[in-house]
Amino acid sequence: MRPKRIASALLTACIPAAALAATQTPLPAEHHQGSVAFITGGIGKDEAKAFESAEKRFPLALEFVDHVGKRDEFLAGTDVKLTDAHGKTVLSATADGPFLLARVPAGRYTVAATHDSKTMTRHIVVGAKAGQPIVFEWKASA
């Protein structure tokens, strides 16, 4: 091993985990509606990575994407309405970016996501632990 690599390896090994965590992009503050806690955002590469890492800590993870030609673009400004099995609205929010992560009780829900006056509806089952993210995909009309 070259001396530079040894010094680099030793330096990396000596950096406390808390210092490394401090360099990561912080997530936005949690919001609350009734018993539901949620965060939205994910604009920019660093914040998107932070949200993708945080998904495993939330039972519900939603992503919003627009297909523009051959490209996929993350969306912001998607209106989200989450209703429980009894039709009661448990969350009504506008996503500040392509991700919305929520702590909701396990159960059956309906998610209605509206972007550019186009609404998509999904019936979902949320478990106690995080599952796969639910991706809403629109196709740009332009």
Percent pLDDT > 90 in the chain is 65
Q: In what order do the strands lie in the sheet with 107-115?
A: 89-94, 79-84, 107-115, 118-126
Has residue 18 been placed in a domain?
no
With 0.95 as the threshold, say if the pTM is over it: no
CA geometry: angle 18, 61, 105, nearest 5 deg: 100
Give the span between the Cα atoms of 5 and 122, in whole angstroms: 51
Convert the chain into a string of H (helix), E (strand) and C (coil): CCHHHHHHHHHHHHCCHHHHHHCCCCCCCCEEECCEEEEEECCCHHHHHHHHHHHHHCCEEEEEEEEECCEEEECCCCEEEEEECCCCEEEEEECCCCEEEEECCCEEEEEEEEECCEEEEEEEEECCCCCCCEEEEEECCC
- In the numeric block, the tokens 């639910």 are attached to 134
Has residue 70 been placed in a domain?
yes
Query: Is residue 18 pLDDT above 50, yes or no?
Result: no
Residue span of the structural domain in which 37 resides: 27-139
Tokens matching residue 125: 């089952």
- pLDDT (0 to 100) of residue 141: 53
Has residue 96 been placed in a domain?
yes
Query: Is residue 39 pLDDT above 90, yes or no?
Result: yes
- pLDDT (0 to 100) of residue 1: 42
Per-residue model confidence as pLDDT tens digits over 126-141? 997 887 899 999 987 5
How many independent structural domains does the chain possess?
Answer: 1
Has residue 61 been placed in a domain?
yes
Average pLDDT estimate for 26-38: 94
Has residue 1 been placed in a domain?
no
CATH number at residue 74: 2.60.40.10
Mean pLDDT of all residues in the chain? 83
Query: Is residue 99 pLDDT above 90, yes or no?
Result: yes
Average pLDDT estimate for 90-119: 96
Cα–Cα distances (Å) from 96 to 17, 64, 115, in that order, read 30, 11, 12
- pLDDT (0 to 100) of residue 29: 92
